[in-house]
Amino acid sequence: MKNVFSKVNLAASALLLVVLAGFSSCKKDNDNKNNLSSLGESIAGKWELSSFTIDGVEIMGAVISASKMEFEAWNGSNSGFEWSLIYSDGSGETQTGNYEEDYEAKEVEIKSRDGDVLKLDIDFNGDGLNLSGQLDDERIIIKAARN
């Protein structure tokens, strides 16, 4: 009889360990999904650029007089973006396309309709957005505020 209780206790303990491991892994998966959702919600919206440097040289106010970015809500694969620039000479351009984000790497990859690809590190600072990366072998840093 003592062997039966020992086997039942051993089986119950093993089952309890399996169930606890399952619960903890589900929580981790849910936390990761919540983080992905919060990054997608964080970038969505309109952003007005306050600074745009190329290799440490500020071009906002000198070459670019105004610039805005708009990101559609992240849908899990790729979502739309629009980036408008108004130059100091009064001309302007608008780039449109899709973006993909990588939560773990904290990166956003912008793919314009004309085939240009720009991969940027992304950092949120309250209602501020900082993007940094390489553009034609030059280091760019973009700072924007939610519009």
Q: Tell me: the pLDDT tens digits for 80-127?
A: 999 999 999 999 999 999 998 888 889 999 999 999 999 999 998 888
Question: Distance (Å, rounded) from C-alpha 63 to C-alpha 135?
Answer: 16
Per-residue pLDDT, 76: 76
Per-residue pLDDT, 55: 97
pLDDT digits 0-9 by tens, 43-67:
899 999 999 999 999 999 999 999 9
Per-residue DSSP letter, 114: T
Question: Distance (Å, rounded) from C-alpha 142 to C-alpha 144?
Answer: 7
3 pLDDT tier (thresholds 50, 70, 90): very low
77 pLDDT tier (thresholds 50, 70, 90): confident
Residues, the chain: 147
Topology at the third CATH level for domain 40-146? Lipocalin (2.40.128)
Q: Which residues contact 91 (CB under 8 A, 6 or more apart)?
A: none
Q: How far is CA 124 from CA 1, 40, 90, in A?
A: 63, 12, 31
87 neighbors 49 (Cβ within 8 angstroms): no
